[in-house]
């Protein structure tokens, strides 16, 4: 059997390259009835902010061709609730639990990160500087180099474990942002967050989301995500975690060939709650078929000539 | 409650009219406990444009035969594909999901349904009957052709109907039926599922008479299991998920303007 382990460095070692994406896998508990979630390489839990957020009004979701638009808007009960109520319930899962950290101000990011730093069984955070569904902060931090730099710089000072920075695809030059983020001490980057989109009902002439615009995810975004992962992996030395529209093992392997060291599965969990374990199995089979000894050999192994 | 993901086999597709079917689905082992008001997330295969699962209420469950029934109204591509399923086809369900209708403190209950909202009321009625309660149904439709599978409801309770064109039962909406036009309602618990305007008038009536009223919401869902937070509704406790805290809510818990 191939060696599936991946070392993303600074304390983040995965038993396999498959993680579940923030906002699509709850706190893991929601999927426990279906399979043993400790099989996963990691779980990125919901976006967590400094204080409780109610998120955006309903409707927050609409299906689109081969994908969906969402405008959840970081609904969560705040970091203190996470620390007190949720962490004790999930801390003993035998997988990596990463907290997706978000905020409206640099101070808020810093505050959340400092509190998560105290939690022994959380090996890392994913800094969400790319949420398209909040009025302030979120994506605004991830769409320009100076603001991205400010967030990471502040968080790096208070957080010593693994920092994965989640990048927005809603930018002109994603590689430039990735490069800046690396310079501030990020341990890895993950991409992509959702692509800004919208949908209208022609009959009623109304927008289908309460916020008018929302974030597109699912297979519809995969070619864009793959391209961005490839571009970013050309310019950074830190590991790249790829996501966006992964539905099966072939998709996952394509992201690795484009330069990803690990991958995340998001929207696909809604359609098949068992998809992540199927992808792990599929990667294993692929390695077998292609005589790959260690899955890390696939990272950036696209053949161009 | 433990959730399952299972392949069922269609053993019957009974067409009720031009837009409604009832699918009878067979499981190859014992059914897990399913409560009335709960639903399944149904995977629609081979749709050129369908992507997410579709939430559909459990219309009926037969533990001896290891079968469940879904009543489907064809309103778009996903439900049309379900409506076209044939005997022998397989259907993947994530189930049983969501909250359920509570047990009444009274023997006099009214179940009010409209459109595909009548679906969960049959199973609720059956469970009540098993407890020795004979439910009263009040079912509304546009015309007599829209009143579907009435004979199934008659087997478990007393059926009253309204149609907008008066082609069957009382003419008008459910709220125009004598059961709801009275000042002294002869029931102490109302359950309702259907179009939101209908549920709101029912809830307003129940609140006016101090009757407990449970409503079943049909919000748009992506995951159905509380993982995505897409299906929220406003309640006294802020925004909660319709798929896990609901679909069944006490009407006074919702922030409805009624
Ligand atoms: C808890 C729950 C239980 C349900 N039970 C049943 C049932 O027993 N039988 C049944 O026939 N239907 C039921 N529904 C509604 C059913 O899920 C939708 O009709 C279905 O998802 C539509 O899919 P489609 O592909 O056919 O239509 P689409 O092409 O997705 O949509 C067609 C039209 O219907 C609207 N629509 C889509 N989804 C919903 C929704 N969830 N609620 C309201 N409008 C919607 C769309 O905006 C669009 O205008 C239930 C919904 C919920 C949330
Ligand atoms: C309903 C929903 C909620 C999401 N919430 C978050 C979030 O809180 N934080 C975050 O960084 N990304 C969030 N995302 C983005 C996903 O993690 C992921 O980046 C994106 O959906 C692309 O991957 P996919 O196509 O596999 O879903 C959310 C996505 C969806 C669909
Ligand atoms: S549909 Fe995902 S949380 Fe309700």
User: Domain map of chain A by residue range?
Assistant: 6-55+65-197+215-298
Q: Are B51 and A218 an interchain contact pair (Cβ–Cβ within 8 Å)? A: yes
Pocket around ligand 1: residues whose beta carbon is below 6 Å from it?
B 39, 50, 54-57, 71-73, 75-79, 116, 119, 218-221, 247
Q: Look at residue B144 in the predicted model and tell me its pLDDT.
A: 93
Chain B CA closest to residue A52: B238
Three-class secondary structure assignment of chain A: CCECCEECCCCCEECCCEEECCCCCCCCHHHCCCCCHHHCCEEEEEEECCCCECCCCCCCEEEECCEEEECCCCCECCHHHHHHHHHHHHCCCCCEEEEEECCCCHHHHHHHHHHHHCCCCCCEEEEECCCCCCCCCHHHHHCCHHHHHHHHHHHHHHCCCEEEEECCCCCCCHHHHHHHHHHCCCCEEEECCCEEEECEECCCCEECCCCCEEEEECHHHHHHHHHHHHHHHHHCCCCEEECCCCCCHHHHHHHHHHCCCEEEECCHHHHCCCHHHHHHHHHHHHHHHCCCCEHHHHCCCCCCC
- Which chain B residues are closer than 8 Å to A274 by Cβ? 5
Q: What pLDDT does residue A141 have?
A: 77
The C-alpha atoms of residue A160 and residue A162 are separated, in whole angstroms, by 7
pLDDT tens digits for B93-138? 999 999 999 999 999 999 999 999 999 999 999 999 999 999 999 9
Can you give the pLDDT at residue B147? 94
- In this prediction, residue A305 carries a pLDDT of 85
Closest-approaching ligand to the CA atom of B232: 3
The stretch A158-178 carries a mean pLDDT of 95
Q: How many angstroms away from the CA of A180 is the closest CA of chain B?
A: 31
CA distance B97 to chain A (A): 11
Cα gap A244→A273, rounded to integer Å: 17
Interface mutation vs chain A, best among B222, B235, B237, B247, most A CBs within 10 Å: B222
Task: Please pick, among A4, A40, A71, A131, the residue that the annotation labels catalytic.
Answer: A131
Q: Domains in chain B, please, with CATH?
A: 4-97 (2.40.30.10), 109-253 (3.40.50.80)
| Surface of A (27-66) touching B: CB under 8 A | 30-31, 33-34, 46, 54-55, 57-66
The pLDDT of residue A140 is above 80: no
| Closest ligand 1 atom number to CA of residue B79 | 26
A201 touches B: beta carbon within 8 Å: no
For residue B40, the CA-to-ligand 3 centroid distance in Å is 13
Cβ(B227) – ligand 3 distance below 6 Å: yes
Q: Shortest Cα distance from B255 to chain A (angstroms)?
A: 13
Q: Output the six-digit token pair for A60.
A: 């927050």
Q: Can you tell me the distance from the alpha carbon of A19 to that of A21, in angstroms, rounded to the nearest whole number?
A: 7
Asked if the Cβ–Cβ distance from B229 to A60 is below 8 Å, we say yes
pLDDT value at residue A130: 82
The CB of A265 under 6 Å from ligand 2? The reply is yes
pLDDT of residue B109: 97
Radius of gyration of chain B (CA): 17
For residue A36, pLDDT beyond 80: yes
What's the average model confidence in pLDDT over A6-15? 97
The number of the ligand 1 atom at minimal distance from the alpha carbon of B55 is 17
Asked if B49's CB is within 8 angstroms of A75's CB, the reply is: no
Residues of chain B with pLDDT below 50 are none
Adjacent-strand bridge partners of B234:
B239
Confidence tier at A138 by pLDDT (50, 70, 90): low
pLDDT at position A145 is 78
User: Which residues of chain A neighbour B43 with C-beta distances below 8 Å?
Assistant: 271-272
Indicate if ligand 2 lies below 6 Å from the C-beta of A62: no
- Residues in B touching A58 (Cβ below 8 Å): 219, 231-234, 239
Question: B48: cis peptide before it, omega within 30°?
Answer: no
Q: Is the CB of B94 under 6 A from ligand 3?
A: no
Please answer yes or no on whether A26 and B225 come within 8 Å at the CB atom: yes
Tell me the chain B residues in contact with residue A59 when contact means C-beta distances shorter than 8 Å.
Answer: 219-220
Supply the pTM of this predicted model.
0.96
Q: In the structure, what pLDDT confidence band is assigned to residue A136 with cuts at 50, 70 and 90?
A: low
Atom of ligand 3 nearest to the CA of B242: 4
Helix (H, G, I), strand (E, B), or coil: what is residue B189? strand
Tell me: pLDDT of A142 over 80: no
Peptide bond into B96 cis (omega under 30): yes
Is the pLDDT at A131 greater than 80, yes or no?
A: no
| Cα angle for residues B87, B89, B93 (degrees, 5° grid) | 120
Smallest Cα distance from B47 to chain A, Å: 10
Architecture label for domain A6-55+65-197+215-298: Alpha-Beta Barrel (3.20)
What per-residue confidence (pLDDT) applies to B46?
A: 78
For residue A131, indicate whether it is catalytic: yes
Considering only CB atoms, which residues of chain B are within 8 Å of chain A? 2-5, 43, 49-53, 94, 219-234, 238-239
Tell me the CA–centroid distance for residue B160 and ligand 1, in Å: 26
Q: What are phi and psi of A30, to 5 degrees?
A: -60, -20
């Amino acid at each position: 059997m191939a060696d599936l382990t991946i070392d993303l460095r600074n304390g983040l070692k995965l038993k396999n390259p498959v993680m579940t994406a923030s906002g699509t896998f709850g706190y893991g508990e929601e999927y426990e009835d279906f399979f043993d979630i400790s099989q996963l390489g990691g779980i990125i839990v919901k976006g967590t902010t400094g204080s409780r957020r109610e998120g955006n009004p309903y409707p927050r979701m609409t299906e689109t061709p081969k994908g969906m638009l969402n405008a959840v808007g970081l609904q969560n009960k705040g970091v203190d609730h996470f620390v007190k109520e949720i962490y004790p319930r999930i801390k003993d899962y035998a997988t990596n639990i990463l907290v997706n950290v978000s905020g409206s101000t640099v101070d808020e990011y810093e505050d959340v990160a400092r509190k998560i730093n105290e939690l022994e069984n959380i090996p890392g955070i994913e800094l969400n500087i790319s949420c398209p569904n909040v009025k302030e902060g979120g994506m605004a931090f991830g769409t320009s180099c100076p603001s991205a730099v400010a967030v990471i710089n502040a968080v790096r000072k208070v957080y010593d474990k693994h920092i994965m920075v989640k990048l927005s695809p809603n930018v002109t030059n994603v590689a430039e942002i990735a490069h800046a983020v690396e310079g501030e001490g990020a341990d890895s980057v993950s991409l992509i967050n959702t692509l800004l989109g919208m949908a209208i009902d022609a009959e009623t002439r109304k927008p289908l989301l309460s916020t008018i615009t929302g974030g597109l995810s699912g297979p519809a975004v995969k070619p864009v995500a793959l391209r961005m992962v490839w571009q970013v992996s050309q310019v950074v030395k830190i590991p790249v975690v790829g996501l966006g529209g992964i539905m099966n093992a072939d998709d996952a392997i394509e992201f690795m060939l484009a330069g990803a060291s690990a991958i995340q599965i998001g929207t696909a969990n809604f359609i098949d709650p068992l998809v992540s374990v199927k992808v792990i199995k599929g990667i294993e089979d692929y390695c077998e078929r292609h005589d790959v000894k260690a899955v890390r050999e696939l990272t950036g192994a696209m053949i161009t000539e | 409650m433990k959730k399952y993901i299972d392949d069922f086999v269609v053993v019957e597709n009974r067409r009720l009219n031009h837009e409604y079917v009832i699918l009878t689905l067979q499981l190859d082992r014992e059914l897990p406990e399913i409560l009335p008001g709960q639903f399944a997330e149904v995977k629609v295969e081979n749709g050129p444009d369908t992507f997410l699962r579709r939430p559909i209420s459990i219309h009926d469950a037969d533990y001896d035969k290891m079968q469940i029934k879904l009543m489907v109204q064809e309103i778009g591509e996903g439900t049309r594909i379900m409506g076209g399923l044939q005997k022998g086809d397989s259907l993947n369900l994530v189930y049983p999901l969501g909250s359920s209708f509570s047990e009444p403190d009274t023997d006099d209950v009214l179940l009010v349904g409209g459109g595909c909202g009548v679906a969960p009321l049959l199973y609720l009625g059956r469970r009540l009957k098993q407890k020795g309660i004979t439910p009263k149904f009040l079912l509304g439709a546009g015309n007599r052709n829209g009143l579907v599978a009435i004979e199934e409801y008659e087997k478990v309770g007393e059926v009253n109907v309204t149609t907008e064109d008066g082609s069957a039962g009382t003419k008008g909406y459910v709220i125009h039926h004598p059961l709801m036009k009275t000042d002294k309602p002869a029931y102490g618990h109302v359950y309702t599922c259907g179009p939101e305007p209908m549920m709101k008038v029912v809830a307003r009536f129940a609140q006016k008479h101090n009757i407990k009223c449970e409503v079943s919401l049909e919000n748009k869902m992506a995951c159905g299991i509380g993982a995505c937070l897409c299906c929220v509704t406003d309640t006294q406790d802020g925004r909660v998920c319709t798929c896990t805290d609901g679909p069944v809510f006490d009407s006074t818990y919702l922030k409805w303007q009624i």
